[in-house]
Structure formats: C-alpha cells, structure tokens
Amino acid sequence: MRKVLILALLLCGSAFMAVSQEVDRDRSKYAVNNFADNDIYTMYEPYATVKVNEPDGRKVKNIILMIGDGMGLEQISAAWVCNGGSLNLDNFSKIGIQRTYSANKLVTDSAAAGTALATGHKTNNGMISMNPDSVAVKSLAEEAMEKGKRAGAAVTCRVNDATPSVFFSHSSTRKNQEDIVAQMASSGVYFLSGGGIKYWNDREDGRDITAEIQEKGYSFASTKEELMAVEEGPVVALMAPTELPFALDRDGILPSSVEKALQLLDNKKGFFLMVEGSMIDDGGHDNKAGHTMEEIFDFDRTIGKVLEWAEKDGQTLVIVTGDHATGGMTLLSGSIDQKRIKVNFSTTGHNGICLPVYAWGPHSEDFVGVYENTELSDKIRKLIK
Ligand SMILES: [Zn+2]
C-alpha cells in the first residue's frame, strides 16, 4: 500500500491522487490512477512471462482446460498492452474461434456456456450440464474419470458456481447450490479448490459435507497454507465462505493451487484439470478496467505455471479459452511503453462476441478453425483415452 502511494506521488505528482487513494483503500490497489476513472489503468509492476517449447510427441495423456470467465479478445489485448507487450498466452501458436450463444439466448450465461464446453451440448441459460429437456449430459471430467483418469478443478469463485459445477454435477438450475455441492462431493473429483465452504458445512439440510468427504478419505484444506501442505489426493480445499478475494488480495492462490493440483493429479493414466480465472467476469460486470486486468494477470501467471509443467511432461494438451465476454469492453487508446490503457465498457452484462481458443501441446492443431463452443468440447473429448 505504502509503495503504491509513493509510486502515485512520484509518477503523478498529484496530492489529489494520493488523497483519493487513501479514501478508497481497497480499490486503490487496482490502479495508481484515480480509481474514479474506471476506464483507465496503468501497470507499474509488469511480470516476467515464460518461453516454452511445444513438445514433438503425439500422445495426449493429460488435458488442462483453462477458462477465463468473461475473458474476450479485448480483455486479452488490453492485458497484453498493460504488461508491456507480453503475456504467457503468447506461447500459443494454434488458435481457433468459438461461438458462444446458448440454446435460448444469443448472449449466454456461464451455466449454458460452461455446459457447452463441459458436455458438448447447447442448453438454456442457467442450466448445469443438462440439455434443455433437463436430461443430464456427461461432462469431460466424468468422461475422464470413466476412462480411469483423475479429474479436478481449481477456481477463484466458490466451487459450486456455474463453471466448476458443470464439470461435476447436473441440475436444471444453477440456483440449486446445496444440491450441486452434494453432487460434487460424490462425483469422484480428485482435486477441487476454490471458495464456498458455507455451502458445504452451513446448510439448510444440516449436513456437514466437509466432514463426510473426510470420512470418505479426502484431505480437506480451509486455507492456502493447508492446501500447500497436502501431499496426497484426493483433496477438497475451500478457502473462503463464498468467493475467494479479488486478485490483489488473494496471495497468488490460483497459481499455487494449480501447481498443487498438477503435483497431486499426475499419475500413470493421466488427468483432466479445469482451471478457471473466475473473476475476470466480475471486473467486466463492474466496468472496472483495473480489476479486469489484475484478474487476467493472475490467470496468465497461472497459464505460465501450467505451460512450464506441461513442457516438462511432454504429453499434456493445454487449452485456454473463455465462456463469454463481459462488459462489452473496447480498447480505445493507451501505450505499450507506458503500460497504460483506456477502455470503454458498453454494458454491465455479458456480450455475445466469438472467443479465441488457444491450444498448446500434442494435437493442438485439432483446435484451429471456427466452430461452436460445443465442438470445442467434442474435440477435447475425442482425445480423452
Ligand atoms: Zn458474468
């Protein structure tokens, strides 16, 4: 905080800026700029990105699907500018485009988009891995577990929010939170990390599902430190009552959790891991450029960790995409040298643009082209063996 203030004074030389920082403490973390200007952001501490070589082999043993919730190409482009013209995403050379509309809406929500990505079925907004007739459809995680692989998810929202839910439960509505948690707990998930402990142990039905899973042999962690100390799966880590804190208050939980996930999931038969940068979406809904950027940086740092691991492994396919874009963000101006952007938001909701698909590793070339979000899921499913 002090560092941010000094920087603000040095760089802006404006007493007004410093005062506004102090009045608005939490938000000040997201911009050395006056945060009243939600449409501008300057990055003062860019991070180093990794450079990895894609393996030559053809075998896909592990699949890591990374979903930036609310992350469209505008958000990615803006983040690239803010980090001085570099992202870990730059390592990907096989790029596709996916269409995101749901069965009943041109502009999807995370439940329908997640269902499409997880199962290969378009459904109505709000539904969790069921088709529009409320028939359950099999997710990629379930497919992987059927084939003897381990499956997991690491997110920054509550683990029972739409995107993780679609991989480990089925419901006609995303609002059935307690039922979704009960299903996730008995799904066979090997690694699950995020927030939402209150849906597990402070329930209307009186169950304590954190106790139940421990009886079944799961390790349980309620803090990042506890999760880092776990040496054997299966594990469930619920590190906040509901959502985890925003990126700058999260102490790198996502990259650390994913490193732990890779350590625990790795086994002879391989694994399927879904990683979500869940709160890029929140920055879009709130129309805050700084918040959006910091969430993407956290997600991209995690991508860097994943790529370094996958490079060593040599049999891991990594896919990065979004479920929908949020905020109708437009990159209006800025400077790569000054790591600064000015953007416009045109909605506080989601928007309906197509999204990029980044593929890296064996069979990454399968993902080049223009296709439906459901076809992206089908392409991944073919590689789960
Ligand atoms: Zn959203």
Query: Average pLDDT of 113-128?
Result: 98
Distance 282 CA to ligand 1 centre (A): 7
Query: Average pLDDT of 8-17?
Result: 41
Claim: this prediction has a pTM higher than 0.85 = yes
Contacts of 143 (CB under 8 A, 6+ apart): 272, 381, 384
| Per-residue confidence (pLDDT) for residue 188, from 0 to 100 | 98
* Residue 22: pLDDT over 80: no
Q: For the segment 358-367, what is each residue's pLDDT rounded down to a tens digit?
A: 999 999 999 9
Contacts of 137 (CB under 8 A, 6+ apart): 115, 119, 120, 121, 129, 130, 131, 170
> Per-residue confidence at 330, pLDDT binned at 50, 70, 90?
very high
Tokens of 141: 């995680």
Which one has a higher pLDDT value, 266 or 6?
A: 266
Distance 194 CA to ligand 1 centre (A): 17
Domains of the chain (ranges, CATH numbers): 1-37 (no CATH), 47-382 (3.40.720.10)
Distance 264 CA to ligand 1 centre (A): 30
Q: Which residues surround ligand 1, an ion (CB under 5 A)?
A: 281
| Per-residue confidence (pLDDT) for residue 92, from 0 to 100 | 98
